[in-house]
Amino acid sequence: LCVFSSLQLVSLLLIGIAAWGIGFGLISSFRVVGVVIAVGVFLFFIALVGLIGAVKHHQVLLFFYMIILLLVFIVQFSVSCACLALNEEQQSELLEVGWSNTNSARTDIERNLNCCGFRVFYANETCAADCLRTLHCRPCAPIMEEYSGMVLRFVGGIGLFFSFTEILGVWLTYRYRNQKDPRANPSAFI
């Protein structure tokens, strides 16, 4: 039951962080927030399936919980390793691709980090930062690169930790699933 509650905790954390980001105006992209909330809701329902399967000793629910948790482990472990393996040059390329492909993220970044433009700010571009009034704005790339390494290490480490709790959950589910139900009629197994 401890593994189910840790998965529920992760799902509620994802939903809470997305709501916090919208509430404080840090994120205005509803697509990003929608994906984070959808992943949180999905994980919550998976944890609920595992919890019901464990309480009822329902073999089918436990099997599906085990398979889905194994798939979540594989994806989360891969993403965590990728976050930890990116070097500074790859991080810069990733930031530049993200910058050039999304206008809403660009606006959020300029407003929250008080910077304009990626590497250079041109006068014909729009900028959401307050520093534009003083005409003394720094480019956003150096500021984002300063934080990106730290954030990727943090996210990768947290993801790696929870991926190992998920593989522990798969193993425990497998062990529990193969036990006889103590509430069942003993003569039913003969």
Q: Tell me the pLDDT tens digit for each residue of 78-90.
A: 888 888 888 888 8
CB 76 within 8 A of CB 97: no
Each residue of 160-174: b (16+ CB within 10 Å) or e? Answer: bebbeebbebbebbe
Neighbours of 89 (CB within 10 A): 8
> Does pTM top 0.75 for this prediction?
no
The band of 187, judged by pLDDT with boundaries at 50, 70 and 90, is: low
pLDDT tens-digit profile of 32-64?
A: 667 777 777 888 888 888 888 888 878 888 888
- What is the mean pLDDT of the segment spanning 1-24? 64
> Which pLDDT value is given to residue 29?
57
**Burial degree of 65 (CB within 10 A; 0-12, 13-18, 19+):** buried
User: Per-residue pLDDT for 142 more than 80?
Assistant: yes
The three-state DSSP-derived secondary structure of the chain is: CHHHHHHHHHHHHHHHHHHHHHHCCCCCCHHHHHHHHHHHHHHHHHHHHHHHHHHHCCHHHHHHHHHHHHHHHHHHHHHHHHHHHCCHHHHHHHHHHHHHHCHHHHHHHHHHHCECCCCCCCCCCCCCCHHHHCCCCECHHHHHHHHHHHHHHHHHHHHHHHHHHHHHHHHHHHHHHCCCCCCCCHHHHC
Q: Indicate the angle between helix axes 140-177 and 30-56, nearest 10 degrees.
A: 20
User: Per-residue pLDDT for 182 more than 70?
Assistant: no
Selected residue with higher pLDDT from 71 and 9: 71
| CA distance linking residue 123 with residue 125, whole number of Å | 6
> Which pLDDT value is given to residue 189?
44
Residue for token digits 């509620």? 12
